[in-house]
């Protein structure tokens, strides 16, 4: 593959066209705009979480990788007050992208709950780490199934 890094007229015009197209894009991303304008259930907004709401507000520290796109539902739920509707005051503990830091945040008491990739928890579970796996945040990568009777 030839390595020609000179700026030809054709390359300059191409870069200029790309820059003009990029400057024409809206300031907010399409997904952000769609989520912002998304109508929410009136029942939820009125605190109608029903029997699933806790009796009193409960503070919980949740370890989560705030950079992971597959964990975006957690951030969206927080922005739309889903946790508040269930009497949960969620404090996010951003552990970056290291599962070791995620597990450490629970083991050291920096967080009471965490969200992460299920397969990365297996080694810790095999070694006796006492946690409960409850649910997934999306259905794209894998599914975790359990019998209804426990």
Query: Could you tell me the residue range of the domain that residue 83 belongs to?
Result: 42-126
> Does 23 map to a domain?
no
In which residue ranges of the chain is pLDDT below 50? Answer: 1, 28-32, 34-35, 38, 41, 44-45, 47, 139
CATH number at residue 80: 3.40.190.10
Give the Å distances, CA to CA, from 100 to 11, 106, 114, 137.
45, 10, 12, 20
Residue 66: the pLDDT is: 83
> Does 75 map to a domain?
yes
Residue 30: the pLDDT is: 44
- Give dist(CA 28, CA 26) in Å, integer: 5
Residue 37: the pLDDT is: 53
Give the Å distances, CA to CA, from 20 to 23, 24, 98, 135.
5, 6, 38, 44
Residue 23: the pLDDT is: 55
> Does 132 map to a domain?
no
> Does 76 map to a domain?
yes
Max Cα distance, the chain (Å): 70
> Does 148 map to a domain?
no
Structural domain count of the chain: 1
> Does 66 map to a domain?
yes
The overall pTM is greater than 0.85 = no
């Amino acid at each position: 593959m030839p390595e020609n890094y000179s700026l030809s007229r054709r390359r300059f015009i191409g870069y200029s066209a790309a820059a003009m197209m990029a400057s024409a894009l809206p300031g907010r991303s399409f997904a952000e705009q769609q989520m912002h304008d998304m109508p929410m259930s009136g029942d939820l907004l009125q605190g109608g979480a029903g029997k699933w709401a806790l009796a009193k507000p409960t503070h919980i520290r949740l370890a989560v990788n705030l950079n992971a796109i597959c964990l975006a539902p957690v951030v969206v739920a927080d922005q739309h007050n889903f946790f508040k509707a269930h009497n949960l005051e969620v404090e996010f503990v951003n552990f970056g992208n290291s599962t070791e830091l995620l597990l450490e945040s629970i083991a050291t008491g920096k967080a009471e709950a965490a969200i992460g990739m299920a397969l990365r928890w297996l080694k810790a579970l095999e070694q006796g780490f006492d946690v409960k796996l409850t649910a997934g945040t999306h259905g794209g990568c894998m599914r975790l199934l359990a019998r209804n009777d426990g």
